[in-house]
Amino acid sequence: MKKNDFLKKIKQKAKQNELNRGDLRFKKTIALLKGKGLLDTNLKIHPTPQIRIDVQDALWAGRNVEPRILEVLPTALLHYRGNFLNTNPLPVELEEVLKALRNDALHGPDFEGVPFEKMKHWANTQLKDKRTKPTREKKVPKYIRLKARHLNKIKSLVASGKFKDQTSVIEAAIDKL
């Protein structure tokens, strides 16, 4: 390929990228992700955390303009599903990623060329304003049967002010093991 042909292709690609950055699908997606604290950009886009966007628009923006969107999209779907329209049905590959992230799996499927480890990093990142808990810190309800004397001991520890609730007593006991 000649140098001039190569430069023409680069200029065409840059022009197409500039047009894509002006697309409303991209702007809405970035505004939401910026508003939620998942992405930042030097573009003059006002963060809008309450906007509702279509999942297909977010996928288009990630595929055609900014690949970082695909890194944080699974996390956004986990924590802020109410901000997305048309979430049923999601692409099968994306559903598999979400399932692996919910289960805090060590390994999972890649999505659109983005390694699972990068998506897991975002799912386990604490946002600055602490609006959501990372997936690794979410509590899972588990019911156990205790003898009355053990339950009374737990209640007395909470009443003494050493622990804020019964769960923290059990977690402290497990941590000491």
Higher pLDDT, 138 or 71: 71
pLDDT score at 31? 92
pLDDT score at 168? 87
The answer to whether the CB of 172 falls within 8 A of the CB of 140 is no
Judged against a pLDDT cut of 70, whether residue 54 lies above it is answered with: yes
Question: For the segment 14-39, what is each residue's pLDDT rounded down to a tens digit?
Answer: 777 777 777 889 999 999 999 888 88
Q: Report residue 46's pLDDT band, with 50, 70 and 90 as the boundaries.
A: confident
The answer to whether the CB of 33 falls within 8 A of the CB of 74 is no
What lies within 8 Å, CB to CB, of 95 at 6+ separation is: 89
Judged against a pLDDT cut of 80, whether residue 131 lies above it is answered with: no
Q: What is the rounded average pLDDT of the residues 143-168?
A: 88
Q: Is the dihedral of CA 154, 159, 160, 163 positive or negative?
A: positive
Question: For the segment 93-121, what is each residue's pLDDT rounded down to a tens digit?
Answer: 999 999 998 888 888 898 888 999 999 98
Chain centre to alpha carbon of residue 30: 14
pLDDT score at 138? 67
Euclidean distance between CA atoms 24 and 1, whole angstroms: 35
Q: What is the rounded average pLDDT of the residues 65-74?
A: 91
Collapsing DSSP to helix, strand or coil, 111 comes out as strand
List the helix and strand counts (H, then E) for the chain. 8, 2
Question: Is this prediction's pTM over 0.85?
Answer: no
Collapsing DSSP to helix, strand or coil, 67 comes out as coil
pLDDT score at 96? 92
Judged against a pLDDT cut of 70, whether residue 129 lies above it is answered with: no
Rg (CA), the chain: 23
Q: What are the tokens at 69? A: 């969107």
Q: What percent of the chain has pLDDT over 70?
A: 94
The answer to whether the CB of 86 falls within 8 A of the CB of 56 is yes
Euclidean distance between CA atoms 123 and 132, whole angstroms: 10
